[in-house]
Amino acid sequence: MVMKTGSEYIESLRRLKTKVYAFGERVTDLVDNPLFRPHINAAAVTYDMAHDPVAEDLVTAVSHLTGKRINRFTHIHQSTEDLVKKVKMLRMIARRTGTCFQRCVGFDALNALYSVTYEMDQNLGTNYHERFKEYLLYVQDTDIMVAGSMTDPKGDRSLRPSQQVDPDLYVHVVEKNEKGIVIRGAKAHQTGIVNSHEMLIMPTTAMTAEDAQYAVACAIPVDAPGVIHIFGRQTNDSRKNGQIDQGNARYGIVGGEALTVLENVFVPWERVFMCGEWQFAGTLVERFASYHRQNYGGCKGGVSDVIIGATALIADYNGVAKASHVRDKLTEMIHLTETLYAGSIACSAEGRPTPSGAYFVDPLLANITKLNVTRFIYEICRLSHDIAGGFIATLPSEQDLRCPEVGPYVEKYFRGVASVPTEDRIRIARLIENMTGGTALAESMHGAGSPQAQRVMIMRQGNLEQKKKLASILAGIPERD
């Protein structure tokens, strides 16, 4: 059993034959390409911190299958303490990277499939859970990075999977034989997929009997025959060859998402964990979504800590740090951040065991947390822009700063307080610009599901009938059929 270091993780990627396209060209050197390296560096932190004595209590856990110490990102939650530690770990890593470190989606997929395969077996007499445990042992033994693959392109959202004009708009089974299955379709917005080792395919919505061919969950290598990854554009990605203009040059912005095409991909039966059991597709989606929405007060809390720090620094550099309105806005940013974190801690502390023994978060509080993220992160970023000033959007480039002819003018006219080098002020401005706009904001809105998805879950979990009964009792209204 091995817990990889960051460098071992990076070297392991070199051995893959992942087929990736970006800007219309096949990528030949994924690991050292400046378009991908920041995302790889961010994921590597999750490996290195498992070997850090200060962090290991949060970033490692003891496997309930083997009793051995493993990276927490491969662990199945065994208590509310595990759920709480997960959130604390995510905030700690986000503070260090200032961005998405990508392993959460696969982590949540492992936990969702663990409990749902158990319940399928109990209800349907299948043997998916034992298969999945064998796969989990492999993941823990090798400490591979697993990408959670849930989101389908969906096509016409008013139609169910089986009603689509193009059947490939949802991943589906096109063939079964004695050795396994063949799947076709695509998964969209796949965080960290190009620098993962494997992907866990899951259905993206609740199903009916007519959708049975779309009720499929399985594990496949990211470089399996028939798998093609098309890397997505991100804000400021044309600056990847610069350093200052990237803002967060070492770890990048968000998580390096891609469209992953599955063109008749073979999956052996030992890696298939749902195949036609449409009755459990909705359960798997809701369980995964709740685990994933639990995360956001942790990871976005950590990212917001960095934004707050950068905003406080730019206030220092601008000479306005002592202004009462600036301090009031920084206070509000802290308040919003800690409110998000409190939601993640609360849904973890209120978690409970599933029939499999694995622990599940409180789904209502998890969805409340994610819905708050869709609002609070925008307000945190708005306040950061307010304090920083408009120059974060109109700064000349790093090349201009370095240019012998015009660089001295950039140096002279973009200085703030005299004691702070102009380049320091520009660096913080670029960090704020990159962390608070474009792709990062869209991910806060739609990552782990759009706001409406959370509202549906909140109404479902909100127990209105019980609340009506409480009001009726206090009002003295007699109970009626």
Q: Is 398 a catalytic residue?
A: no
Instruction: Indicate if 56 belongs to the active site.
Output: no
130 is annotated as an active-site residue: no
Of 259, 160, 264, the C-alpha closest to 214 is: 160
CA atoms of 474 and 101, how far apart (whole Å)? 49
Q: What is the pLDDT of residue 1?
A: 65
The answer as to whether 277 is a domain residue is: no
What pLDDT is recorded for position 362? 98
**How crowded is residue 465: how many other Cβ atoms within 10 Å of its Cβ?**
8
Residue from 119, 286, 433, 443 carrying the catalytic annotation: 443
Instruction: Single out the catalytic residue among 47, 97, 104, 311.
Output: 104
Q: What is the pLDDT of residue 144?
A: 98
Confirm whether 299 is a catalytic residue: yes
Name the active-site residue from 214, 296, 317, 359. Answer: 296
What's the DSSP call for residue 1?
-
440 domain-assigned: yes
- Is 349 within a domain? yes
Quick check: is 411 catalytic? no
204 annotated ligand binder: no
- Ranges of residues in the chain whose predicted pLDDT is under 50: none
Q: Is residue 104 part of a domain?
A: no
Tell me if 133 is assigned to some domain. no
For the chain, the domain total comes to 1
- Residue 310 in domain: yes
| Residue 378 a catalytic site member | no
Locus of tokens 């964990």? 273
Number of H helices, E strands in the chain: 16, 14
CATH number for the domain harbouring residue 468: 1.20.140.10
Residue 168 lies in a domain: no
Question: Measuring CA to CA, how many Å separate 39 from each of 137, 287, 294?
Answer: 26, 27, 22
0.75 exceeded by pTM: yes
Catalytic residue among 74, 191, 369, 374, which? 191
Domain of residue 435 covers 291-475
Given 172, 292, 317, 381, the catalytic residue: 292
- Taking alpha carbons only, the member of 174, 132, 138, 171 closest to residue 155 is 171
Residue 210 annotated among the catalytic residues of the structure: no
User: Minimal CA–CA distance to 223: which of 199, 188, 191?
Assistant: 199
296 is known as an active-site residue: yes
Q: Return the pLDDT at 238.
A: 81
Residue 68 lies in a domain: no
